Every structure is written in structure tokens, then in C-alpha cells.
Structure 1
Amino acid sequence: MTTTPGGAAPAPQGAPHAAPHRVTLRWSAIGLVLVGGAAGVAAREGLSLAVPDVDDIPVVIPVVNLLAAFALGYLYEGVARALPGTPLAGRLKLLLGTGFCGGLSTYSSLATDTAVLLDHSRGGIAVTYALGTVVLGALATLAGIALGSRLHPRGPDEQELRRIEGHADPHGATRRAS
């Protein structure tokens, strides 16, 4: 079988050609991201003003990045399990995931703070600051996913239950009794 230049298999003979997928932006989606992002940035700035640096190391930046990583892991797993494929799930992902968590986290500030620490001859602290935030951020995301899956167990799909119980074949047609 040959493939097209993009690596996809060609359409079968006689099959209609698929129209190119057109992405459209909706103002409501943009609004959700903007509102969530503004709230996330405001939360980060409020924490930055409230929590002082420790030994000239900005502790708020890694903390907000870890919180956002955890929240994003929890949100996406919990929403995927509790509200699969619903319009509310999409809106929550835009508002809280892309918007709030995107505004709360700031890896550009992490990079800038790391550069400042390096510039002040604090290389060991800079490496620990940057790598520690990234590694702990990955672990925080995994912890969020684990909590989301634990608190929102995925119920079996009705069609899947029928197939398991032998009431339907894998193609969705009902079995006939012999």
C-alpha cells in the first residue's frame, strides 16, 4: 500500500475525497481563555506581591508553576472522565486549562530568574531552581492525573458493557439467538 506525501494512506477507490479541516475561532472560546488567563495572571501577581523572595530567590515562580502543572493534570483527567466529549468539558478546558493555568504558570519568568541567578554567580542554585521546577512540575502533573482518575473513575460505556456481556457483537449489531 502506498501512502501520500504526508504519510496518510490514500482514500480507497471510489471513496469521496475528504474536505480539508478548517479551524474556526469562536469569540466565546477566545473570551473564555481571556477571562481565565486574566484570573491566572492576577493570582500569580497577587502571590508575587504577597510572598517575599528568599535569599534573593523568587520562590513564587516555581510554586505557581507547580500548582498550575498539578491543576492542569487534575483538570484534564477529571474532565475527560466526568464529562467526556461534552460542550461543558471543552469550555472548562479553555477557561481553566488554557486560560487560568496558562496565566498562572510562567516558564518565561523561570528562565529569566535562572539567568539572573547565573549572572550573580549562583550556578548551583540556578540549575537546581530550573531543573527542580521542571522535574517537580512533571511529577505534579502526574499527581494531578492520578488524583483526577481516582476521584472521577471512568464508568464503563453502555455499548462496551453490552459487548462484554455478549449482547452485542464488536460491530454494534445485536446477536441473534440460535
Structure 2
Amino acid sequence: MTRNRAKRPVHLHWGFMGIVAAGGVLGALTRYGLGTVIPAPGAWPLPTLIINLSGALALGALLEGLSRRGPDVGSRRVLRLALGTGFLGAYTTYSTLAVDAVHLLAADAAPAAAGYLTASLLGGAAATTAGIWLGAWHHRLTAGARS
């Protein structure tokens, strides 16, 4: 009698976990570094906004580009895990977005908090959409060059 053992999910493979962890370390260090050099005018959380919007743009472009190149296997899976889940997952910081909004509210700056949350959420959706568009455009451009 033979048994068909189900494949282990990706998140249970030590090698894939290591790839995500390595990307996460680099993403967190990059976020920290940028957070120290981008000014925060009047204690408004501009660094977090820029980091999150750029991360949303990059993630949209990455995932769209990878999905247009084929199934999530081999090097595409490694890139998705290292750059998408690891690097960009640690680079973007939605927990800090929430803390920043609470700090603005605690400082009686409700309009600033509302503007920050609106810019973050709507801007994040727009940045992701732009990233998807860029990923599709790049795919069409490179596919046409290969033909």
C-alpha cells in the first residue's frame, strides 16, 4: 500500500523561512536607515508615509511582474519570498502607521492624523495600482523586445 503524502506548505520549509528572514533583515535595516535621514516636518510622520508608499509601489510591480512570467515556482518563488514577503514585508510598516496616527491624535492634531491616514491608505492603494501597471508595462516592453 502506498501513501500519497501531501506536500508541506511553503511556510513550513526551513530554506524558504531563511530566505524570508534574510530579506526581512535587509528590509528592516533599510527602513530604519531611511527613517533616520528623511525629515519629519513638525513631527508629521513623513518618513513612514514615504516608506510605505514606496513599498506598496514596489510590491505591486514585483508581484505583477512575477505573475506574468509564470507560476510561483523556482526562482520566481524565491524572489517573491525574499523581496516581497521578506524585504518589502519588513520595509513597510503599518504598525508604525497606526502608532504615528495615535501620536498625532494624542497631540490634539486630529486633522493631521486624518490627513496622514488618508494619504497612507488611499496613497497605498494608488501606489500599489501604479506598481501593478508598471509591472504589466515592463512585461509588455520586455516581451516585445524578445519577439
TM bracket, shorter-chain basis: 0.7 to 0.9
Q: Which residue of 2 aligns with 1:60?
A: 47
* 2:60 corresponds to 1:79: no
Q: Cα distance, 1:49 vs. partner?
A: 1.1
Q: What percent identity do the matched residue pairs reach?
A: 38
* 2:35 corresponds to 1:48: yes
Q: Cα distance, 1:82 vs. partner?
A: 2.6
TM-score when normalising by structure 2:
0.86
Higher relative contact order structure (alpha carbons within 8 Å, sequence separation ≥ 6): 2
AA matched with 2:9? V
Q: Which residue of 2 aligns with 1:97?
A: 84
Q: Cα distance, 1:35 vs. partner?
A: 0.8
Rg comparison, structure with higher value: 1
Change (3 A) 1:74 1:62: same
* 2:9 corresponds to 1:23: yes
Higher-helix-fraction structure:
2
Q: Cα distance, 1:20 vs. partner?
A: 6.8
Q: Cα distance, 1:50 vs. partner?
A: 1.2
Pairs aligned (count): 138
TM-score when normalising by structure 1:
0.72
Say which SS state the counterpart of residue 55 (structure 1) adopts: helix
Q: Cα distance, 1:48 vs. partner?
A: 1.1
* 2:130 corresponds to 1:138: no
Structure 1: gaps of 5 or more residues: 1-17, 156-178
RMSD: 1.9
AA matched with 2:13? R
Say which SS state the counterpart of residue 134 (structure 1) adopts: helix
Structure 2: gaps of 5 or more residues: none
2:57 pairs, out of 70, 74, 82, with: 70
